[in-house]
Amino acid sequence: MESDQRSNFLVWSHFLRRTGIHFVGKCSGGLWSALRCLGEMNHMPHLGSDIHHPDLGANSTEMLNTTPANTIAICAMRHMETWREATGATRIISVVNAHLMPPTPPAIEPAHHLRLAISDARAEPGQPHPARPQIEELIQFVRDWPQDAPLLIHCFSGLNRSPAAAYIALAVLNPYISEVLIAYRLRAASDTAAPNRTMVGLADLQLGRDGNLSAAMELIGPGQPAAEGRPFVLSTTFNNP
């Protein structure tokens, strides 16, 4: 093992042991396999789930059979129905401009489809941000999710608003987990995710996270430039360090 590989191994091994992260599926086989998996960003690694491959073609049945109920799937709008079928998601969060809002799929109960019309509009001086009510709806919808089947979140491109909603969802479901661990889980799962900072900032206030959700975003950086985010999945479960 070359010196730079050994250095990276020591850093990541300390991180994994400190956070209690466990890898299964294609990432099983010991710590070194887990570290190699973390480096395979182009193959959509993910933490704490058991989906083996991002390709939905021949493997969609395998995904449906192996996607844990406590999974959040994130994708662009054009992949919504494919990923809903592949993961078995029974709840959907759509975060797009109002004129792009998709209809509720026939297989989803209307009450289980949260439609958040969030644009890039800014707050007027001295006025609440126009997206604040939608963030409140998002938080409540996630709290009401029984995690009995996967949750699918999409925006138009899968780059900004849906990763932000997923990041917020992990914070809602894990109130005692460090924002840094949540942010690094997001980055380990997706190298293209660039969560919408306004949404994250509003959730910071709503959840009483004292700006730490936003600060953790600075640590993981903006992600790799892309026209569309690669679909990815997140487990909602964190193991105690």
CATH number, domain containing residue 149: 3.90.190.10
Burial class (CB in 10 A: 0-12, 13-18, 19+), 6: exposed
Whether residue 135 is found in the same domain as residue 197: yes
Whether residue 79 is found in the same domain as residue 153: yes
Whether residue 16 is found in the same domain as residue 86: no
Q: Give yes or no for residue 22 having a pLDDT over 60.
A: no
Total domain count for the chain?
A: 2
Q: Which tens digits make up the pLDDT trace of 165-188?
A: 999 999 999 999 999 999 999 999
- Is 46 domain-assigned? no
Whether residue 170 is found in the same domain as residue 140: yes
- Is 1 domain-assigned? yes
3-state secondary structure of 13: helix
Q: What is the pLDDT of residue 9?
A: 41
- Is 76 domain-assigned? yes
Whether residue 68 is found in the same domain as residue 24: no
Whether residue 34 is found in the same domain as residue 66: no
Q: What is the 3-state secondary structure (H, E, C) of 31-51?
A: HHHHHHHHHCHHHCCCCCCCC
Q: What is the pLDDT of residue 124?
A: 57
Whether residue 29 is found in the same domain as residue 93: no
Least confident of 28-37, 88-97, 136-145, 153-162: 28-37
**Residues forming beta bridges with residue 74, ordered by sequence position:** 153, 232
> 54, 56, 91, 55: which is closest to 72 by C-alpha?
91
Sequence-distant (≥ 6) Cβ neighbours of residue 182 within 8 angstroms = 167, 170, 171, 174, 213, 216
Q: What is the pLDDT of residue 128?
A: 73
Q: 12: domain range?
A: 1-39
What is the token pair recorded at 52?
């083996």
- Is 47 domain-assigned? no
**Phi/psi of residue 106, each to 5°?**
-55, -30
